[in-house]
Amino acid sequence: MDVSSYDLLATAVLLLDEQGRVAHVNAAAEELFGLSRKQLAGAPAHGLFGQDIGLQARFSQALQGRFGVLRQDLALARPDGAVPVSVTLVQLQGQPWAALLEVRELEHHVLIERNRHLSQELDVQRESLRNLAHEVKNPLGGIRGAAQLLEAELDDGSLREYTRVIMSEADRLSGLVDRLIAPQRQSLNAARFNIHEICERVYALLRAEYGARLQVVRDYDASAPDLVGDRERLLQALLNIAGNAAQALTENDTDAAPVLTLRTRIGRGLILARRSVRMGIVVSVIDNGPGVPEALRDKVFHPLVTGRASGTGLGLSLAQEFVQQHGGVIEFDSVPGYTEFRMILPLELP
């Protein structure tokens, strides 16, 4: 395709060299970015969307063909404010350029509607599960009670082993049911605190549990302002995400040494569950593990969905619920060798 042909396209197109620098832009890109071709030429493409080290890594991997096609929603910083955009990066073969980057402006209401639909879908599923859990609770108590009475009547010690198995499994299932029907929607215990307080807590817990088996890296933005929220619920949400990542890293055999990164950044022009905000906090959990299985990507936050044999499938669902209670949302990107879950939180409660 002749380079002048790109000017006929209505969407912004940037052609990148092997280092991910801008080699050419079309007229639509000049208009979207508010910069001329001369100003954009030679600029690192990832830098057009803010100083995000994780984004730089994803662009680099996409240029190497790791993703096939990289698609992501980002915020484009312009003098008149942040603009939500959808980015598609495709590696090119047999062309003078290494990759093509297409940028489409997204209307705020489209993103808000997408997140609102996810929130409603999860609410319906959680309510259905809690109703089912209530129905299961009473029979479980009856099974355990019957096993306890039976054990008291048995003279043969070897037979009591079976009643203890019944009681143990009934207790395990009862614990799972309690987690499903827990009153998560009670009012938040709101307070103002710094997000790094819970990051440091999670860091300490990971170090205590995994020790030398897992390298945990802290990459904090020291300028991040305090936010208002329920410290314990946000701590549990971050711990659930980080715990999942740590288990994926230590339970799977990989050539690379397992590394988990806790990262914080100030987010601007954020699109959250039901609204947009000018500024918020983005807390990322990044790992170099095997990634989220393709079959689970569309339902990874659904209750009881898990890719681990020993998992309950409640960790990410509860994490998403806790974050949504704060008016935020959890998003993720994942390919083998790079997975990033992002807790996106407003500074104030809705």
> For residue 123, what is the domain's CATH number?
1.10.287
* Whether 295 and 170 share a structural domain: no
CATH number at residue 60: 3.30.450.20
Domain end (from 106, 138, 160): 106
pLDDT in tens, the chain (350 residues): 567 778 788 788 999 998 889 999 998 888 888 888 889 999 988 888 876 667 788 888 888 877 777 888 777 766 656 677 888 888 888 888 888 999 887 755 455 555 566 666 666 666 666 666 666 777 877 888 888 888 888 877 777 878 888 888 788 777 766 666 665 556 788 999 999 999 999 999 999 889 888 999 999 999 899 999 999 889 989 999 999 899 888 887 667 789 999 999 988 777 676 667 778 999 999 998 888 887 777 777 776 656 554 555 567 888 888 888 898 888 888 888 888 899 999 999 87
CATH number at residue 341: 3.30.565.10
According to the model, what pLDDT value does residue 290 have? Answer: 84
Pairing mode, if any, of strands 276-287 and 259-271? antiparallel
**Which domain does 124 fall in, by range?**
110-181
Residue 29, both tokens: 């890109």
* Whether 14 and 49 share a structural domain: yes
- CA distances 10 to 31, 104, 198, 304, Å, are 10, 9, 45, 43
* Whether 169 and 64 share a structural domain: no
* Whether 240 and 317 share a structural domain: yes
- CA distances 158 to 143, 148, 151, 161, 170, Å, are 20, 15, 11, 6, 20
* Whether 9 and 41 share a structural domain: yes
According to the model, what pLDDT value does residue 302 have? Answer: 73
Q: Please state the domain count of the chain.
A: 3
* Whether 120 and 77 share a structural domain: no
According to the model, what pLDDT value does residue 122 have? Answer: 60
Domain end (from 87, 106, 125): 106
- CA distances 18 to 42, 44, 45, 63, 90, Å, are 12, 11, 11, 7, 12
Residues in the chain: 350
Tally DSSP H helices, then E strands, for the chain.
8, 12
According to the model, what pLDDT value does residue 308 have? Answer: 54
According to the model, what pLDDT value does residue 66 have? Answer: 76
Residue 263, both tokens: 């990262």
